[in-house]
Structure 1
Amino acid sequence: MDFVSVLRLIIYVAYVLVIIGTMLIVISENRNPIRTLAWILILNFIPVFGLILYYVLGQDTQRKKYFKKRGAKHTYSIPKSESLCRNKDKVPDSCHDLVKLLEPSECSDVLYGSDVEIMTTGERKFAALIDDLKNAKHHIHMEYFLFNKDETGKEIKQILMAKAAEGVEVRFIYENVANITVRPKFYYEMEKSGVMVCPFMKMSLPRIRRTINYRNHRKVVVIDGKIGYIGGMNIGDEYAKDPNWRDTHLRIKGQGVLGLQAHFLNDWSSSGEKTVENKREYFPEQKIYSNNLMQIASGGPDSPYSNLLHAAIRIIVESQQYIYIQTPYFLPTDALFHALYAAAAAGVDVRLMVSAKSDTAYIDPAMHSYYEDLLEAGMRIYEHQTKFIHAKTMVSDDYVSVIGSTNMDFRSFEASFEINCYMYDADIALQNKAIFFEDLKGCKEIVLEEWVKRPGWKKLLESFLRLFAPLM
């Protein structure tokens, strides 16, 4: 053999050893078997790209250590008062387990008496938000997964800059990767006007795997510690103006704002910014507007356990009458899938609403792979024919409601930083339920007898893409 042939052989053997070694590492990490299988398939079918992808998105041996250190910077909690401590006593017995499950999460105290407006159109959300921002007196705290540099984004940006110039404290956290097309000049102009701007995780070569894989999907606004926003709408024209974009957001006044404030300030400090002083100014006394009870709970790779996933499962298994879900992406973990299956099989009215066509083509077949088994169990699945359902909502038994940023998929439950509002209130639940039924008017129900007749090639494609669902 000549030198070139020997060199090729050495490179080939080294390459094969690297692939095999990587597979062994994947297996030894004792992940979810489906996730492990997905990585092994990628490494087999597209080895070169697979190695790069695994390095960027898969392996991060320092993740736990890094996020433990990051979580140590969470120094804010909701100031305790006698009335706040008694809030938990108002929770009915049927919700005690869910409340207890969420309480170990940071800043997840039970909050009483909030005024809650459920907003289902971008027109209403942005009209209210712009008005509230313009009336801010002391501070504006804002973090968004997407802050587009379109007409809507520029309008919000100008308001933030104007308020900062007036002397209002404006803090703004942005997600690095999701806004990668936004040039530094966009943020520099904000900083120049006095807005304090910070990426959720700073982009650097040593951190590139964490920065790309673990994204801040939260959407939070706090104004003067008295008005708060949480939900599914980002900042952008499609959320504000597109009539075919269906989303849900909350505007909150009262104690619920305290929870949003604590979560924002912890995100601010853990992102590397200076701790905010004069804490009391950010947690003012709140009026009591109603009998509403709520918890603001966040989740992410820095959480000690998968609290948002466990909460979803708990709500499903505790449902006695019904559970209605809206989500843009339905790629459930095994535990969530079996909880839905068991509830439907037990006679609970379980309904799922998604879009007939999502904004990500390869996700749709993977979603469809879950339908047949759930339909057989008795679950009802609806696809909206004209609108993209971007809302992330749950409502159960005319009492429990969830609205936030969390999708029903692996990424939201395992890799993204998310935040949800859990509400224990009959009036809110009935509003949520009515919204679900209003949206049903534009939906087509998936019927099992027709669904099983779809072409064999579609079933094969769905089954194949389902293998990669944990990585989507």
Structure 2
Amino acid sequence: MANIITLILIVNMIISFYIVFRHQRSVATSWAWLIILLIFPVAGFIIYGFIGRGISKENLFAINKQKHISLDKVNKMQAYSLEKIFSNDTSHKAIQLIKYFNNQKEAPLSKNNAIEIYTDNQSNFQKIFNDMQNAHHTINVEYYSFMNDQLGNKFLNLLIDKAKNGIKVRIIFDPWGSLGTKLSWFKPLIKVGGEVIPFITSQNNIKKYRINYHMHRKIVVIDGKIAWTGGYNIGDQYIGHNKKFGYWRDTNIRLVGPAALLLQERFVMDWNASNDYKHTIKFSDLLFPKCNNDPYNTNHSTVQVVNDGPDKEVPYLRNGMIKLMMMAKESIWIQTPYLIPDDPMIATWVTAATSGVDVRIMIPCMPDHIGIYRATEWYANYLMNMGIKIYIYEKGFLHAKTVTIDNDFSTVGSMNQDYRSYLLNFEDEIIIYDNTITKQLKDIFKHDMCECYQLT
């Protein structure tokens, strides 16, 4: 009997070492998982299956190879060289940040974009519906959460009508974020020519129930000319029709111009990675229409569309956000529903605050996940004691994900200020180089402060 137990322990140790060290992780994470697997041979493997298991090599290959599809063509369609932009349009302190985000030629600087910010739930969805209603060729939708409820059905029915009228409609959704929504719910759309697919990392019953490695993006692209992204998903709670949350406070951004091509490209890459070869999307003028850029037009916004995920070897977006915040001279104002930052981000905020920068972070007053909110509260108190101003939004649930730096730069997207957004989920973020839009977002922050109390 003793020999059998010894053999089991040896086999468990070998398997544990293999499972933990076959993926690249931080030293602390690797040893933490190894200890759990060795101490809890059965329960440890179950926990690891839902939380610790990485992305398969096959999925990583499928995601990474898409980076080369249409990228060069779309980059050329931006119509500007970095040198020309640097000499004419961008402040000196933004040059290195822009170069960093475009280091792999994945986030070219995009000029002459019209930007609208939406924080009112009804206005946001009404405008999205209007844009989809006016589509001429394609509607591509990618959401973390797509719920089978009143808003979800209204959204789906509009897509069904457009598909019946010859518009090509495609949907990517994440089954974890859309728990309760079955693929069969989309059948009426599929019957009239629409296409629907789960994101590549959640395409079977085991993968879709793990906590990490999910597609957290929220993207709508119409005809390759109009694009939406931000914090809103599709569901009744996002229009305040959920008693648990009540009023829902979120932020979306509407982009018209060349940047829509970059969000279209992101959708196409995610679609192709999640599909077999027969159903992949090829480059076409309908998907990527030519932009009429006017280099002398100074009334529109300059942005970068930055995408990130666990397929990258380093936390590309997180590191870029740190670099962005390190440029602050006056203020860093952040809105986030989840506040579970890692040490490098904490160090950035604390260093800025102790250097005289006005660092403010706004978080919700209520949990949507009780454990996560308790962690958010802990970090809020910790950061407050380190000199950072923490504001608790009381009107309802704050789900906005925005950052403003001084009066110069701002970001809107799907990225939360937490470990999962930094390292474990697939995100998209719009980096905005426009002081008018930044001031608008700061005014929104100030208005929201009227519904807050400051943590003391």
| Residue 35, structure 1, aligned to residue 29, structure 2 | yes
Cross-structure match for 1:261: 264
What is the TM-score normalised by the length of structure 2?
A: 0.88
Cross-structure match for 1:463: none
Which amino acid in the other structure matches residue 188 of structure 2? E
Q: How many residues align?
A: 439
| Residue 334, structure 1, aligned to residue 328, structure 2 | no
Offset of 1:372 from its aligned partner? 4.3
Is the 2:301–2:432 contact (alpha carbons within 8 Å) kept by the matching residues of 1?
yes
Residue correspondence of structure 1 range 10-25 to structure 2 within 5 A: 13=6, 16-17=9-10, 20=13, 24=17
Is the 1:88–1:110 contact (alpha carbons within 8 Å) kept by the matching residues of 2?
no
Residue correspondence of structure 1 range 301-380 to structure 2 within 5 A: 301-380=310-389
- How far apart, in 2, do the equivalents of 1:208 and 1:363 lie? 21
Offset of 1:364 from its aligned partner? 2.2
Cross-structure match for 1:185: 184
Deviations 1:220-256 (A, max 9, x none): 0111111110101000111123452111001111122
Deviations 1:120-151 (A, max 9, x none): 12211101011111111111111100110100
| Residue 282, structure 1, aligned to residue 291, structure 2 | no
| One of 246, 250, 256 as aligned partner of 1:247 | 250
Cross-structure match for 1:112: 111
Deviations 1:12-60 (A, max 9, x none): 5456546655665687567335534653675588653322121343144
Structure 1 stretches lacking a partner, 5+ long: 1-5, 448-472
- How far apart, in 2, do the equivalents of 1:202 and 1:297 lie? 20
Is the 2:79–2:293 contact (alpha carbons within 8 Å) kept by the matching residues of 1?
no
Cross-structure match for 1:52: 46
| Residue 73, structure 1, aligned to residue 82, structure 2 | no
Offset of 1:186 from its aligned partner? 0.8
Offset of 1:356 from its aligned partner? 2.0
Is the 2:201–2:213 contact (alpha carbons within 8 Å) kept by the matching residues of 1?
no
Offset of 1:266 from its aligned partner? 1.2
- How far apart, in 1, do the equivalents of 2:210 and 2:104 lie? 23
Is the 1:200–1:271 contact (alpha carbons within 8 Å) kept by the matching residues of 2?
yes
Deviations 1:272-299 (A, max 9, x none): 2534345222222246672311000100
- How far apart, in 2, do the equivalents of 1:313 and 1:443 lie? 26
Q: 1:323 to 1:45 in 2, by over 3 A?
A: farther
Structure 2 stretches lacking a partner, 5+ long: none
- How far apart, in 2, do the equivalents of 1:283 and 1:216 lie? 23
- How far apart, in 1, do the equivalents of 2:222 and 2:78 lie? 25
Q: 1:14 to 1:235 in 2, by over 3 A?
A: farther
Measured on the aligned residues, the alpha-carbon RMSD in Å equals 2.7
Is the 1:101–1:307 contact (alpha carbons within 8 Å) kept by the matching residues of 2?
no
Q: 1:254 to 1:125 in 2, by over 3 A?
A: same
| Residue 84, structure 1, aligned to residue 80, structure 2 | yes
- How far apart, in 1, do the equivalents of 2:32 and 2:367 lie? 22
Q: 1:381 to 1:279 in 2, by over 3 A?
A: same
Offset of 1:82 from its aligned partner? 7.8
Q: 1:229 to 1:105 in 2, by over 3 A?
A: farther
Offset of 1:210 from its aligned partner? 9.8
Deviations 1:301-348 (A, max 9, x none): 122431110111112211111100011111111111111111111111
- How far apart, in 2, do the equivalents of 1:232 and 1:116 lie? 16
- How far apart, in 2, do the equivalents of 1:11 and 1:245 lie? 57
Deviations 1:95-117 (A, max 9, x none): 11211111035641101111111
Is the 2:138–2:169 contact (alpha carbons within 8 Å) kept by the matching residues of 1?
yes
Deviations 1:415-446 (A, max 9, x none): 11100000000100000101111111111111
- How far apart, in 1, do the equivalents of 2:216 and 2:78 lie? 34
- How far apart, in 1, do the equivalents of 2:395 and 2:259 lie? 34
Q: 1:87 to 1:161 in 2, by over 3 A?
A: farther
Report SS of the residue matched to 2:128: helix
What is the TM-score normalised by the length of structure 1?
A: 0.85
Cross-structure match for 1:142: 141
Which amino acid in the other structure matches residue 104 of structure 1? N
Is the 2:16–2:38 contact (alpha carbons within 8 Å) kept by the matching residues of 1?
no
- How far apart, in 2, do the equivalents of 1:42 and 1:209 lie? 23
Cross-structure match for 1:231: 230
Residue correspondence of structure 1 range 393-412 to structure 2 within 5 A: 393-412=402-421
Q: 1:205 to 1:224 in 2, by over 3 A?
A: closer
